[in-house]
């Protein structure tokens, strides 16, 4: 089956594409530039020239494919409007086909979990920068009314293969000799290894029912301080972790600073029960200690 992936050159999208190719599918991916197209071709992915703003390219690629995976994540003031338009375009292209559309959300929109270990039924309390995302999730889930098999995945913080926030902290430590994070470090983060997450996308395409929503988290939540301190040690600058005010962090991180101070404990067995998902990647602290994060 051909599977169309938006964001196929990105961290999550490239991992998803790799797993789909390993499972024997053909993969096409959106490429904004010639450089991106060359990178996709080198990875065995068929480039589709265009961008998320190119409705015709999106519609044609999604309509031709047997399934669509949307991993491209817009940022900035217009992110909500941009993502809503992209999802509407993809649903229009797939309308009446019963083909899967797997949408990438995230656990940040759940807000503080208030000391509880939260699952799919936990009420969402998104920070300001993600206030738009619950509506887009509902649009994907409601696509079943148009005979589209919409599925929402909410990954926890993704790590592994040198990417994600953990990879960013390692690079910061090596380049600047220090890791800076907002808050006090006492808040908890939940994680999922990128390879385990990619495997879940494959299962969602094959098995998830229309309108489904799954959390993607594995292992016990750990404090931001524990992750930062292990990253600093791995990078060769042990003890070089600085916590700064959220206001100060916004100057360089924008509103992402508000997300990084969320205290979230997230875990679910739903994907294991319904899809047979079996995450097996090392925990984030173990991966950092082994130099494999």
- What's the pLDDT score for residue 76? 79
- What's the pLDDT score for residue 222? 98
The tens digit of pLDDT for each residue in 120-154 reads: 999 999 999 999 999 999 999 999 999 999 999 99
- What's the pLDDT score for residue 68? 98
Q: How many helices and strands (H and E) does the chain possess?
A: 12, 15
Cα distances (angstroms) measured from residue 236 to each of 73, 152, 181, 288, 293: 32, 39, 18, 12, 14
- What's the pLDDT score for residue 30? 95
Return the closest-CA partner of residue 172 out of 285, 252, 255.
Answer: 252
Q: Which residues pair with 47 in a beta bridge?
A: 29
Residues 56 and 101 in one domain: yes
Return the closest-CA partner of residue 8 out of 33, 151, 24.
Answer: 33
CATH assignment at residue 178: 3.90.25
Return the closest-CA partner of residue 234 out of 188, 171, 282.
Answer: 171
Residues 119 and 42 in one domain: yes
Residues 84 and 104 in one domain: yes
- Residue 67 structural domain: 2-158+190-219+266-275
Work out how many domains the chain is built from and give that number: 2
- What's the pLDDT score for residue 133? 97
- What's the pLDDT score for residue 3? 98
Residues 236 and 203 in one domain: no
User: Alpha helices of 23-105 — where are they, by DSSP H?
Assistant: 34-42, 55-64, 79-94
Cα distances (angstroms) measured from residue 27 to each of 93, 140, 247, 254, 288: 18, 22, 42, 34, 31
Q: Which residues of the chain have pLDDT under 70?
A: none
| Residue 217 to residue 221: CA distance in whole angstroms | 9
Residues 212 and 245 in one domain: no
Q: Which positions ≥6 away from 42 have C-beta within 8 Å?
A: none
Its pTM stands at 0.97
- What's the pLDDT score for residue 77? 79
CATH assignment at residue 151: 3.40.50.720
């Amino acid at each position: 089956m051909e599977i169309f992936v938006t964001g196929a050159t990105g961290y999550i999208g490239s991992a998803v594409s790799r797993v789909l190719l390993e499972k024997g599918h053909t993969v096409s991916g959106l490429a904004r530039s010639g450089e991106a197209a060359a990178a996709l071709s080198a990875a065995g992915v068929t480039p589709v020239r265009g961008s998320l703003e190119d409705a015709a390219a999106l519609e044609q690629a999604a309509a031709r494919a047997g399934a669509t995976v949307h991993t491209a994540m817009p940022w900035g003031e217009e992110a909500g409007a941009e993502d809503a338009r992209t999802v509407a375009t993809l649903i229009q292209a797939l309308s009446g086909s019963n083909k899967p559309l797997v949408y990438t959300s995230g656990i940040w929109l759940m807000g503080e979990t208030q000391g509880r270990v939260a699952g799919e039924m936990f009420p969402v309390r998104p920070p300001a920068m993600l206030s738009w995302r619950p509506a887009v999730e509902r649009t994907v889930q409601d696509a079943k009314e148009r005979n589209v098999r919409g599925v929402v995945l909410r990954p926890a913080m993704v790590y592994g293969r040198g990417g994600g926030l953990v990879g960013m902290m390692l690079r910061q430590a090596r380049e600047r000799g220090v890791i800076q994070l907002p808050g006090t470090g006492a808040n908890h983060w939940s994680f999922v290894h990128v390879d385990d997450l990619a495997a879940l996308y494959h299962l969602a395409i094959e098995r998830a029912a229309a309108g489904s929503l799954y959390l993607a988290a594995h292992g016990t939540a750990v404090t931001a301080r524990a992750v930062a301190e292990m990253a600093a040690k791995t990078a060769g600058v042990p003890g070089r972790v600085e916590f700064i005010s959220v206001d100060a962090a916004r100057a360089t991180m924008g509103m992402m600073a508000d997300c990084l101070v969320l205290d979230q404990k997230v875990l679910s067995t739903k994907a294991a029960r319904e899809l047979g998902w079996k995450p097996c990647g090392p925990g984030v602290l173990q991966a950092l200690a082994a130099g494999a994060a």
